[in-house]
Chains A and B, each alone.
Chain A
Amino acid sequence: MARGARMVPFAGYSMPVQYKDGILTEHLWTRAHAGLFDVSHMGQCFVHSDSWEKTAAALEALVPADILNLKPGQQRYSQLLGADGGILDDLMITRSAYDGHEGWAYLVVNAGCKDADYTHIAAHLPAGVSLRVEADLALIALQGPEAVDVIAGLVPGIRTVPFMTYHAAQLDGVWLHISRSGYTGEDGVEISIPAKDVAAFCDRLLADPRVRPIGLGARDSLRLEAGLCLYGHDIDTTTSPIEADLKWSIQKRRREQGGFPGAERIRRELAAGPARLRVGLLPEGRQPAREGAEIMADGRRIGVVTSGGFGPSVNGPVAMGYVETAFAAAGTSVTLIVRGKELPARIAPMPFVPHRYFR
């Protein structure tokens, strides 16, 4: 396998879980320099009509974020919600800034959900608004404190582009859609690029000594330390955005006006507080607590770990999970059941490693 990759099956794709350096080294490299991730398995599509108002209204019927007030080029995190307010998928929505594409939104959805997402979206779009699935676009991420310096060597305009905004560029005739965002908590970019051009572009990035290839293993430990949700683990059709502590992703106008699936549940949970809440957990000692570990307090089960492992930058175990809201305050002592044994832990604020976004 090229570059010492160890491959695993993931969402129907064969994916590199790690390259020759191993997860720990890849993780720490990304936090210190620049890590290159191939995330082409994710779904890229456009929702479009002849006006932004029409496209935004169609999307706002599916997600709880304010889409209408996105500025051209601006990107926002949201969730596709079911009728009961459960999360069908989480996604990024970007308003196009291209001339002649004023009514276009660019969406990035999870690999494991994309077929169901496309069916769901297409079934709910009103007349005049269309879905266009892009099968010939690759998606890569370059993350870490040196990532933007590396890209700026090729595309100088990226340097001043703020977090959650995209920059369109042509590099030697290759079209690049570069968004200042990512899934590691670090500054960096995600780049959409025609699939036929991606290998040569990655080779060019990897020729830079600041850049190393990073596998899925470190992608998971990086996003866990950053406190970011992994769909199918930390959020799913049974969790609402309020339970998942994603209230920040529902802007004021939408909280007040509703008009999205599950609005009633979300309004109720905003008013009265949800019954359970996603929290960070710091186990005592060195042993990681992993997905499925039960969370106990007062001699009974109060929740469950949804993601957990060893945080290389924290240099210790980190986890997230759901607990009954009464136990959700930072500092609360709980017990985790790890491999049949009790492991003391406390509720901790997230992220575990400070975000370093460029705003």
Chain B
Amino acid sequence: MTTYYTKDHEYVRVEGDTGIVGITDYAQSQLGDVVFVELPEVGKAVKAGGEAAVVESVKAASDVYAPVSGEVVAVNDGLPDSPATINEDPEGQGWFMKIRLADKGELAGLMDEAAYKAMIGA
């Protein structure tokens, strides 16, 4: 199980041929209190770098981009009713969707944890 990161602050935690996608703790801290989330339909095909979800805080709306290409095989159904979970546990209970990876080779273009931490200055 390895987690990869994008420069737009999404993470993808790879388990077998599935990637669990969400936004990082840094992203939620920058957004502030999340009040709305819109998830894609299960079965939707997403492209790496393409819009996959919407997250809105009191301050602003933000697109969430798919870190990898593939089919959305599950979404976190409870999230729209408790968007604060994204602030409380972004990389655990606050996951957005699971994507069946179309091309594991795309992962090589993402950052590992050390590179991501270096980028955000953590």
A residues sitting closer than 8 Å to B (CB atoms) are 17-18, 22-25, 27, 217, 221, 286-288, 290, 309-310, 312, 317, 339
Residue of B nearest to A315 (CB): B35
- Say yes or no: B59 contacts A23, CB within 8 Å: yes
With A and B bound together, what is the CA distance between A286 and B59 in angstroms? 14
Q: Which residues of A contact B54 (CB under 8 A)?
A: 339
Q: Chain A interface secondary structure, helix, strand, loop or mixed? A: mixed
Q: Which residues of B contact A22 (CB under 8 A)?
A: 32-33
B65-86 CB mask vs A (1 if < 8 Å, else 0) is: 0000000000000001001000
- Say yes or no: B80 contacts A288, CB within 8 Å: no
Knowing A217-B58, A217-B59, say if A286 contacts B35 (CB, 8 Å): yes
* Residue in B38, B58, B83 whose CB lies within 8 Å of A309: B58
B residues sitting closer than 8 Å to A (CB atoms) are 32-33, 35-36, 38, 54, 56-59, 61, 80, 83
Known: A23-B58, A221-B58, A286-B36. 5 other contacts (CB 8 A): A18-B32, A23-B33, A217-B58, A286-B80, A310-B57
Q: Which residues of A contact B61 (CB under 8 A)?
A: 288, 290, 339
Task: State the Cβ distance, A88 to closest chain B Cβ, in Å.
Answer: 28
List 6 A-B pairs, minimum CB-CB distance, nearest first: A24-B33, A310-B35, A23-B58, A286-B36, A287-B36, A310-B58
- Say yes or no: B32 contacts A288, CB within 8 Å: no
With A and B bound together, what is the CA distance between A23 and B83 in angstroms? 15
With A and B bound together, what is the CA distance between A24 and B33 in angstroms? 6
* Residue in B36, B38, B58, B80 whose CB lies within 8 Å of A312: B58
Q: Which residues of B contact A217 (CB under 8 A)?
A: 32, 58-59
- Say yes or no: A287 contacts B33, CB within 8 Å: no
Question: 10 A-B contacts, Cβ less than 8 Å apart?
Answer: A22-B32, A23-B57, A24-B35, A27-B58, A217-B58, A217-B59, A288-B36, A312-B58, A317-B36, A339-B61
Task: State the Cβ distance, A285 to closest chain B Cβ, in Å.
Answer: 8
- Say yes or no: A310 contacts B32, CB within 8 Å: no
Residue of B nearest to A341 (CB): B38
Q: Which residues of B contact A312 (CB under 8 A)?
A: 58
